[in-house]
Amino acid sequence: MSLLDKLAPMSERVRAIGDRPVPFDTVIDEANGPCEVVIGGRPTLMCGSNNYFGLSFHPDVIAAAQEAAARFGSATTGSRVASGTLRLHRELEEDLAAAFGMRQGLVFTTGYQANVGLISSLCGPDDVAVIDVESHASIYDGTRLSGARVFAFRHNSADDLARKLAQQPRGRCLVVVEALYSIAGDLAPLPEIAAACREAGAFLAVDEAHSFGAYGAHGLGCAEAQGVLGQVDFLVGTFSKALGGVGGFCVSNHDALKTLHFVARPYVFTASGSAATIAGVRAALRILLADRSLNARLWENVRRLRTGLAQLGYRLGATASPIVPVRIGAADRAIALWQGLLDAGLYVNIVLPPGCRADACQLRTSVTSAHSAAQIDRALAIFEWVGRDLAILSAAACSSS
């Protein structure tokens, strides 16, 4: 078998779809706002973006990005340890640390690199990483790069975590969990997980990528909402969700976080985020922390979409969050529904193996505060039309909605 032969099964799967839209290969021709795009020349309602507060189109964010591009150019053309650290990067790190009440902050070029850089720098071959079995690929990849011994515990099971930690050396173990899991849309029991880490003398890192902005009295995420922010050693987040940008960050009260500037390979060897990106994120952060009405609108829309989909007869994830999983089952049915929705002018995401079990395929809708009530109702109408046409919804469920 050659290097290329292992790609043949995927090529066959793509060819089998024919002329229909191919999952994971959608091209957006134009964006007319956070919720309205053009795909294949057709106006399309966007319900698959992580732009939870629509801040990528906020006029203050755009103005800040434009001004920074004019002052600093289109790119840094250097990594953070070379010529790529601008004053803007340090100011954003200070902003983030202050927002979380932490002493240190570090900004990465992508959210993926934030997890990979943190884990691979903290852990080595003599250390242990314990992660939730449903962790994001960036967490798994960080453990691989670290060379640490890796153990996975049952999803959201603090009891199983405690059993795993009881067998590990104190002070040499890093536990990594997500606050809000992006596939199932469920939340981690952070108080129980933090307690297990304290008991075992393990460090705790929490990825708030999808939860930052949406949870907590100040929008700082699930650790704040669940009252354990002070018990988290390293809190990781991303700019590509609530802040409408590109990049990632880590905040901590451990001064050791500063050392990652010199040793984290994904950080040291990657060009830094552009001035436009960083300035836009700083503006978005100020807006998000100051305007809590954005959060109220987000949750109103979450309730509206979840209620409507449930009334139509769709099976949803159990936890209410900005991620609304629509559980379908077999891959062919999930693909057919995804294609039908897109043909009808609605874009959502799709989850297929190996991202899930073969019988657990789903569509993943995302809600934002920028969606109007009319847009949510339009999405529900399309879900009903297409679901009925494909016999995914029963006639009884449709007629009762």
Per-domain boundaries in the chain: 15-46+293-400, 58-290
Lowest mean pLDDT among 11-15, 197-201, 220-224: 11-15
What would the pLDDT profile of 155-164 be if each residue is shown by its tens digit? Answer: 999 999 999 9
pLDDT mean across residues, the chain? 94
The secondary structure of residue 149, as a DSSP letter, is E
**Tell me, what's the pLDDT at 396?**
36
CB atoms within 10 A of CB 106: 26
Q: Tell me the three state secondary structure of residue 181.
A: coil
Tell me the C-alpha distance between 305 and 374, whole Å.
Answer: 11
H or E stretch at 103: none
Per-residue pLDDT averaged across 295-310, rounded?
Answer: 97
Phi-psi region at 219: left, alpha or beta (left = phi > 0; alpha = psi -120 to 50): left
Q: Write out the DSSP string of 233-251.
A: SEEEEESSSTTSSS-EEEE
pLDDT mean over 112-135:
97
Q: Does pLDDT of 15 surpass 90?
A: no
User: Computed from CA positions of residues 244, 250, 253, 258, in that sequence, does the dihedral angle turn out positive or negative?
Assistant: negative
The class level of CATH for 58-290 reads alpha beta
Query: To which residue do tokens 């552009």 refer?
Result: 274
pLDDT tens digits, one per residue of 145-189: 999 999 999 999 999 999 999 989 899 999 999 999 988 889 999
Q: Would you say residue 395 has pLDDT above 70?
A: no
Place of tokens 């043909």: 343
CB 38 within 8 A of CB 44: yes
pTM of the model: 0.93
Q: Half-sphere exposure (CA, 13 Å, Cβ side) for 389?
A: 14
In the predicted model, what is the mean pLDDT of residues 368-381?
97
CATH architecture of 15-46+293-400: Alpha-Beta Complex (3.90)
Note the pLDDT of residue 107. Answer: 98
CA distance 5 to 134: 29
Question: Above 90 in pLDDT, residue 397?
Answer: no
Rounded Cα gap, residues 320 and 302, in angstroms: 7
CA-to-CA separations, 54 to 66, 280, 292, 303, in angstroms, rounded: 18, 13, 14, 18
CA dist 353 and 308 (Å) reads 27
